[in-house]
Each structure stands twice: as C-alpha cells, then as structure tokens.
Amino acid sequence: MSQSIPFADTNFKLAVVHELMYNQGLLPKFRLTTYAAEKGFTYDAWGVGAVPEAMAYFEALEVPVELAEKITEIEMDGGNRIYMEIAPGWDGEDELFDVDEFSDVRHFPNLKSMTLLYTGNEEALEMLRARGIDADWL
C-alpha cells in the first residue's frame, strides 16, 4: 500500500489535488453532482460556502507520495474546477480557499512555480521565492 502525503494545510492540498486531478488526470475526477447523487445528499448550487460533504471528501482523499514529483507548478485561480466542485456558487471574494501554511512545499521537490490567491502574506511569498519557487499573487 502506498504512503500518502501528510498535508498541514487543506487549501494547499486542494491546490495540489486540482493540478493532479483536473490538469494532469492522475487522480479520479470528482464531480459534486455525481457524488451528491451517489451519497444521497442535496446542496445549494448557488451557495458561496463549501458544501460540507465535498470538503470532507477532499480532506479524506489520500494523495500518494509517488505523485509529489509530478507537481512542478501550482496555479490557484478562483475559476479552478476544484473550487467550483466544492463551493459551486463561490465568487472568489473571500478567504475560503486561501493557503495559510506553506510548510507543505517540502513534499514537492520539483515545484518551480506558484500563482497564489491574494492574501497579502508577503512573508510567505518571500519564503517560497527563497526556496527557488517563482511565486506571485494571482
């Protein structure tokens, strides 16, 4: 059985999973409509908050350590599919998916570029750049 990456920040994990799942196709794609039908729950398709069942799915999702090397760039954008599957009505105007903790970069030796949702955390940006990652705000 494969080991999974231990993430410290759920939103950092979501950014990684988006790259692996929707951009590279290395994880099975999650569709909220299908998942809700399978699990028998309903949700507000216009709600700006996270659908609890969808967030729980991604929190529990294990990302195999072998996939860490596949991450060379992370582009966080309010229109990313993963965010629309978790919070279908999210408008990008709040901190719902902001990364607060960047220690998870240590798991990704090939990560060279990050575009981040704006948080104003210049310290984090400088730390990422010091690690050789071309990091900037969206």
The pTM for the full model equals: 0.96
Handedness of CA 95, 105, 113, 23 (dihedral sign): negative
**pLDDT of 1 higher than 70:** no
Closest among 56, 49, 58 to 15, alpha carbons compared: 58
Q: What is the pLDDT of residues 106-132, one digit of tens each?
A: 999 999 999 999 888 899 999 999 999
Q: In the chain, what is the greatest distance between 2 CA atoms, to the nearest angstrom?
A: 47
- From residue 23, alpha-carbon distances to 72, 81, 82, 84 in Å are 12, 10, 10, 15
What is the residue extent of each domain of the chain? Answer: 10-137
Tens digit of pLDDT for each residue in 48-60? Answer: 899 999 999 999 9
Q: What phi, psi does 134 have (nearest 5°)?
A: -75, 95
pLDDT tens column, 83-101: 999 999 998 889 999 998 9
- For residue 12, what pLDDT is reported? 97
